[in-house]
Structure 1
Amino acid sequence: MSIFINKDSKVIVQGITGGEGSKHTARMLAAGTQIVGGVNARKAGTVVTHTDSAGKEIELPVFGSVAAAIQQTGATVSVAFVPPAFTKDAAFEAIDAGIELLVIITEGVPVKDSAELWAYAKSKGNKTRIIGPNCPGIITPTEALAGITPADITGKGSIGLVSKSGTLTYQMMFELKDIGFSTAIGIGGDPIIGTTHIDALQAFEADPETKAIVMIGEIGGDAEERAAEFIKNNVTKPVVGYVAGFTAPEGKTMGHAGAIVSGSAGTAQAKKEALEAAGVRVGKTPTETAELMREIISKL
């Protein structure tokens, strides 16, 4: 089992002919993802050639719109590698076409645009789940990758992972590679994102193959505090956590646009205390967090 994506997911790439889109299409195919085409209005009707996970050369059709791609291929997932200035329009197009899952990798999307595309998805009945922007995407190891997460650092297993940070996602996957993951999802660290910690926690709680959950947060905002409240009231599986940013100076944006501390709100310590009050064991470092998870798994 997994959450949001699996071996049967049919994936298209918005921006498949661009440098980043092309590079990561190749990597997603190598990870076993069932990519069925791409979108570029200016190159509609052409094909791009790649190699699949079996080493076989395949030709992927390029469509003029997401709607056309869905109609021709039955795609349910789109991964967007689109410049920041055009990301909102690309997202609107995917939402209008009824894509089930939209993964926005792009960094530097204006917060106003993120707010508008999220509100637009809601106005359309929330039929499209959005992950991102500014995120590494989602991977169900050995089955499918929608994004830029390295596919060879971990295998299939029983841990669910949700993280604001891309690099900490990778580190945690590597630290716990001996156990493996059901799904790992990087939700992004911008002030406004689509899928949240709570969305992922709820899905992992419902997934019978996920036995325990790692949640990685960082300073800024109150997402971790809200997730802690959700865990206390709704999650029965063991959760371990890590919060990045204990040494961050007050009032200074660190890394992600959303990682800013204002007074006592949004500090790593406040988040740690909220999580621990909800029964979450919180590590002081990523490695210690992984050890806590390893200890929990050994007792299940």
Structure 2
Amino acid sequence: MAILLDRDTRVLCQGMTGWAGSHHVAQMIEYGTQVVAGVTPGKGGRTHLGLPVYDRVADARSETGANASIVFVPPVNAAAAMIEAIEAEIPLVVTVTERVPVLDMVRVRDALRGSGTRLVGANSQGVLAPGICKLGVMATGSERPGVVGVVSRSASLTSEVVAQLTEAGLGQSTTVGVGGDPVHGMSMRDCLELFLADDETKGVVLIGEIGGFEEEEVADFIAQVRPAKPIVSLVVGIHAPRERRMGHAGALTSGGSGDAAAKAAALERAGARIAASAHLVGRTMAEALSGGR
């Protein structure tokens, strides 16, 4: 089964009436996702994409039964949108918005404490349960239902790995883009815990990159629990120059920390299998699941 999403997921979109929200929500609907409402302050009472638009998340949830939200709100107002969804007790919030100010995200993290909300992002490509629900902006076409969970900090590499897993006949149970901004919601460790508890997920791929300490934290967790499920990891940015941001706001090696080689070494010591190259992730997982080296 999938994590985070299922066939009963009912989605509202905060910022649906903007271009990005309109474009991607239309694709989500086409995929089969149950999008039930939009939220744009000041536009309540209208319809957009054939769906009702509300001024407030609480009203949208009350009237439609929405249990997930996707946020397409510009960075300056994105934190307020996330906090509104948290206060409305939306169980799952996925935020696509990139480069939300760090201090704003600190406020969001504070709002999450003690709440029943799981936040994916900001700067997330979303969550995809193949054939069940698409909540995000990821490309589709190569994904297939299967047994491998994918946790990633990189949107483009997620698409590559999904294609490899499908070609290997493994498919995916769920893919989760945790987000590339320095402060965000669910971590790689949080996602791994959910995958390890899911009986239908037989293996997990972790896609990391330079910057931050998430890969080291998930390595500590792997070393602690010694999971029976194989874990394959790819950490990119081996040749990235120091002190230079590489794409994502959080992809920055600074002060001797956050480099790709150290992250890969920590994961390997913990027991994860390290894919030698980006094009070998699918093959490495296939070998791990078959018991080979």
TM-score w.r.t. length of structure 1 = 0.93
SS at match of 2:149: strand
Counterpart of 2:20 in structure 1 is: 20
Q: What is the aligned partner in structure 1 of residue 93 from structure 2? A: 102
Is the 8 Å Cα contact of residues 182 and 210 (structure 1) preserved in structure 2?
yes
Q: 1:86 aligns with which of 42, 56, 77?
A: 77
* C-alpha distance in structure 2 between counterparts of 1:232 and 1:79, whole Å: 34
Q: In 1, Cα distance between the equivalents of 2:280 and 2:255?
A: 28
After TM superposition, list the pairs within 5 Å mapping 1:4-83 onto structure 2: 4-49=4-49, 59-83=50-74
* 1:112-148 Cα deviation digits (max 9, x unpaired): 11111111111xx131111000110101000001111
Per-residue displacement from partner, 1:58-87 (whole Å, max 9, x unpaired)? Answer: x21111110001000111100000011110
Structure 1: distance between partners of 2:79 and 2:157? 27
**Mapped partners of 2:210, 2:77: distance in 1:** 29
Offset, 1:267: 1.1
Q: Which residue of structure 2 lines up, in the alignment, with residue 149 of structure 1?
A: 138
Q: 2:263 is matched by which residue type in structure 1?
A: K
CA contact under 8 A between 1:217 and 1:243: conserved in structure 2? yes
2:155 to 139, 155, 166: 166
CA–CA separation in structure 1 for the residues paired with 2:148 and 2:42: 42
Displacement after TM superposition at 1:236 (Å): 2.5
Aligned residues: 289
1:244 to 201, 216, 236: 236
Q: CA deviation at 1:25?
A: 0.7
* Cα distance, 1:278 vs structure 2: 0.8
> What is the aligned-residue RMSD (CA, Å)?
1.2
Q: CA deviation at 1:284?
A: 2.7
Tell me the TM-score normalised to structure 2 length.
Answer: 0.96
Q: How far is 1:263 from its partner? A: 4.1
> Is it true that 1:279 corresponds to 2:271 in the alignment?
yes
1:267 counterpart letter in structure 2: D
**How far apart, in 2, do the equivalents of 1:250 and 1:90 lie?**
34
1:184 aligned residue (175, 181, 187) = 175
Question: Does the aligned pair in 1 maintain the 2:165–2:171 contact within 8 Å?
Answer: yes
User: Of the candidates 186, 192, 203, which is equivalent to residue 201 of structure 1?
Assistant: 192
Partner of 1:53: none
Structure 2 unaligned runs (5+)? none
Contact between 1:264 and 1:270, CA under 8 Å: does it hold in 2?
no
SS at match of 1:42: coil
Pick the aligned partner of 1:223 from 187, 200, 214.
Answer: 214
Structure 1 runs (4+) deviating above 4 angstroms are none
Quick one: distance in 2 between partners of 1:247 and 1:211?
A: 32
**In structure 2, how many angstroms separate the alpha carbons of the residues matched to 1:104 and 1:86?**
12
**Contact 1:158/1:211, CA 8 A, preserved across alignment:** yes
Give me the whole-angstrom Cα distance separating, in 2, the residues matched to 1:180 and 1:165: 19
Give the CA deviation at 1:299: 4.0
